[in-house]
Amino acid sequence: MHFLRSIKKWFRKRQLIKKARKIEEQNAKIEKRQRKAAEAQDYKSIEEQLEERNRHQTQNLLLIFDKLQHTMDPLVASRVFNTHFCPLISKLPEELLLCILDYLWDDPVTLQCLRAVSSTFFRLLHRRSNLWNYAYHNNQSIFWNFMYLSYLSITGIDAQGITAAYLDKSNALNLNHYLQWQLRRLLQRDGRCDNCKAWNDDYQRHTFDYCKFEAPIIVNTPCKPRLKCYGCYDQHDIYEFSLEEKMAKKHTRVCLGRQGTVQLCEHVQIPWARIETHIKTFWYQEHHSDWQTWLDEFKIECKHSSHDTRCTPSEAPTWPQARLGLSSLRSRIILSLEWEPHCRLDMLTLTKSKRISAVELKLMFENLRRQGPADILCPPYHSGTLQEMICFHQSSFTRPLLYYKMNDEEDKESGEYEEDEENTSPVPSSSFPSPLTLSWSHSDRVDGNRKELAIHSHILEEANGTGIFQQGLKVSYRRDVMICKMEDVRYPRKSIGPSHHWLHAMDARTYPHPQHVRPLCTNESCINYSQRPKPFHDCPRPPSEPDRNELSCQMRSCDLRMEPDIWLEDRA
pLDDT in tens, 395-433: 666 667 777 765 444 344 333 334 344 444 444 444 455
Distance separating alpha carbons of residues 477 and 190, to the nearest angstrom: 28
At 570 the pLDDT is 41
Q: Which of residues 495 and 431 earns the better pLDDT score?
A: 495
> Looking at residues 120-130, what average pLDDT do you find?
70
Residue 139 has pLDDT above 80, yes or no: no
- Please check the confidence at residue 30 and state whether its pLDDT lies above 70: yes
Predicted confidence band at 556 (pLDDT cuts at 50, 70, 90)? very low
pLDDT for position 448: 63
Task: Give 157's DSSP letter.
Answer: B
- Res 430: pLDDT: 46
More confident residue, 374 or 208: 374
3-state secondary structure of 22: helix
Confidence of residue 82 (pLDDT cuts 50, 70, 90): confident
Q: What is the mean pLDDT of residues 276-281?
A: 88
- Ranked by mean pLDDT, which of 177-181, 269-273, 439-443 comes out on top? 269-273
For residue 371, which amino acid is it? Answer: Q
User: Which residues on adjacent β-strands are paired with residue 72?
Assistant: 405
pLDDT tops 60 at residue 74? yes
Measured CA to CA in angstroms, residue 357 lies from 361, 472, 479 at distances of 6, 16, 29
More confident residue, 153 or 108: 108
pLDDT at 545 over 60: no
Confidence label for 356 from pLDDT (cuts 50, 70 and 90): confident
The overall average pLDDT reported for the chain is: 72
Q: Pick the range with the lowest mean pLDDT from 168-182, 304-318, 456-470, 522-536.
A: 168-182
Which pLDDT belongs to residue 275?
92
Report the pLDDT value the prediction gives residue 138, as an integer from 0 to 100.
46
Confidence check: pLDDT of 271 > 90:
yes
Ramachandran angles phi, psi of 371, nearest 5° = -90, -10
Helices 142-155 and 130-137, packing angle to 10 deg? 110
**φ and ψ of 560, to 5 deg:** -95, 110
User: Is a pLDDT exceeding 90 seen at residue 524?
Assistant: no
Average pLDDT over residues 71-83: 75
423, 354 contact by CB (below 8 A) = no
Give CA 166 to chain center in angstroms: 35
pLDDT at res. 220: 62
| Residue, of 286 and 486, whose pLDDT is higher | 486
Distance CA 42, CA 51 (A): 14
Provide the pLDDT for residue 262: 93
In the structure, what pLDDT confidence band is assigned to residue 523 with cuts at 50, 70 and 90? confident
pLDDT of residue 320: 93
Contact 361, 389 (CB under 8 A): yes
- For residues 344-366, give the mean pLDDT: 80
Residue 112 in this model has a pLDDT that exceeds 60: yes
More confident residue, 299 or 454: 299
d(CA 82, CA 108): 22
Q: How confident is the model at residue 287 (pLDDT cuts 50, 70, 90)?
A: low
Beta strands in 399-528 (DSSP E): 402-403, 437-443, 450-459, 471-485
**pLDDT (0 to 100) of residue 134:** 46
Pairwise pLDDT comparison (71 vs 503), residue with the higher score: 503
Residues 6+ apart with CB under 8 A from 492: 283, 284
Quote the percentage of the chain above a pLDDT of 70. 67
Question: Residue 276, CB half-sphere, CA atoms under 13 Å: how many?
Answer: 16
Q: Which helix (H) or strand (E) holds 461?
A: none
Average pLDDT (54-66) is 84
Mean pLDDT of 530-551: 48
**Quick one: average pLDDT of 223-241?**
86
Q: How confident is the model at residue 173 (pLDDT cuts 50, 70, 90)?
A: low
Nearest CA among 337, 278, 279, 288 for reference residue 485: 279
Compute the distance between CA of residue 264 and CA of residue 374 in angstroms, rounded to an integer.
10
Q: Specify the pLDDT at position 127.
A: 56
User: Cα 352 to the chain's mean position, in Å?
Assistant: 37
